[in-house]
């Protein structure tokens, strides 16, 4: 009987611990071994696999990951030479994505500027986008506020603020919000 009790206590003690076959290579102290650190190039390539990044954005993420400036710069130069990272391609993708999300040109300009895209290139990208900003702003109003127009000045102001926050120019906002009022007046004579 004593043997059975001892065997059960050993089993109970082992139940809480993983044996060497299940340890995954743990060291005798029970702590897992440290993973080998990825190179800055591998880390940046992994980030680029998810989506386009600007050089500035990758540099910031690598620095936050603990990579020194020289290693990060070398990795970014190599990625650029291999055409895995391209600021121009990043900027084009960003413009397409933000327009599809319903953002205006002022918001796009600020975001591109934050990624160190030159002003001349920003102007080119916005011209190449060939977007009717009034139509896009009106679509955002319909999406947010349904199809109802409003003659109430406070409601028009709320709608105008919404469009301004999304980066539409004041002239565009004025045209769209007043057109919204004109349409509401036509519906309710």
The CATH number given to whatever domain includes residue 182 is 1.10.10
pLDDT at 182: 46
Domain extent at residue 139? 132-189
CA angle 88, 90, 94 (to 5 degrees): 120
- Residue 40 domain flag: no
Asked if the structure places residue 47 within a domain, the reply is: no
As a whole number of angstroms, the distance between CA 55 and CA 44 comes to 10
Look up residue 92 and give its two tokens.
């084009």
Q: What pLDDT sits at residue 23?
A: 47
Per-residue model confidence (pLDDT) at position 19 = 47
What does the pLDDT read at residue 30?
Answer: 63
Per-residue pLDDT of the chain (189 residues; tens, 9 = 90+): 555 455 555 445 545 544 444 445 555 566 677 778 889 999 999 999 999 999 999 999 999 999 998 999 999 999 999 999 999 999 999 999 999 999 999 999 999 999 999 999 999 999 999 999 999 999 999 898 876 666 778 888 999 999 999 999 999 999 998 765 445 444 444
Q: Is residue 161 part of a domain?
A: yes
Residue 180 lies in a domain: yes
H runs (alpha helix) in 16-118 = 40-50, 55-64, 69-81, 87-100, 105-114
Give the chain's domain count.
1
pLDDT of residue 147: 64
Flag whether 113 is in a domain: no
The whole model's pTM is what?
0.71
SS3 27: coil
Is residue 78 included in any domain, yes or no? no
Is 179 a domain residue?
A: yes
In a domain, 48, yes or no: no
Only one residue has tokens 């005798």, namely: 28
């Amino acid at each position: 009987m004593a043997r059975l009790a001892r065997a059960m206590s050993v089993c109970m003690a082992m139940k809480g611990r993983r044996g060497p076959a299940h340890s995954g290579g743990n060291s005798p102290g029970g702590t897992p071994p440290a993973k080998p650190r990825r190179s800055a190039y591998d880390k940046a390539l992994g980030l680029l696999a998810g989506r386009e990044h600007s050089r500035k954005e990758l540099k910031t993420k690598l620095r936050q990951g603990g990579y020194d400036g020289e290693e990060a710069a070398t990795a970014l130069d190599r990625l650029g030479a291999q055409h895995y990272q391209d600021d121009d391609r990043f900027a084009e993708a960003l413009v397409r994505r933000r327009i599809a999300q319903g953002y205006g040109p002022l918001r796009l300009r600020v975001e591109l500027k934050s990624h160190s895209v030159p002003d001349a290139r920003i102007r080119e990208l916005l011209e190449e986008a060939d977007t009717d900003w009034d139509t896009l702003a009106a679509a955002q109003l319909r999406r947010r506020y349904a199809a109802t127009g409003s003659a109430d000045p406070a409601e028009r102001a709320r709608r105008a603020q919404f469009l301004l926050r999304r980066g539409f120019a004041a002239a565009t906002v004025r045209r769209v919000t007043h057109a919204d009022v004109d349409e509401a007046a036509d519906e309710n004579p």
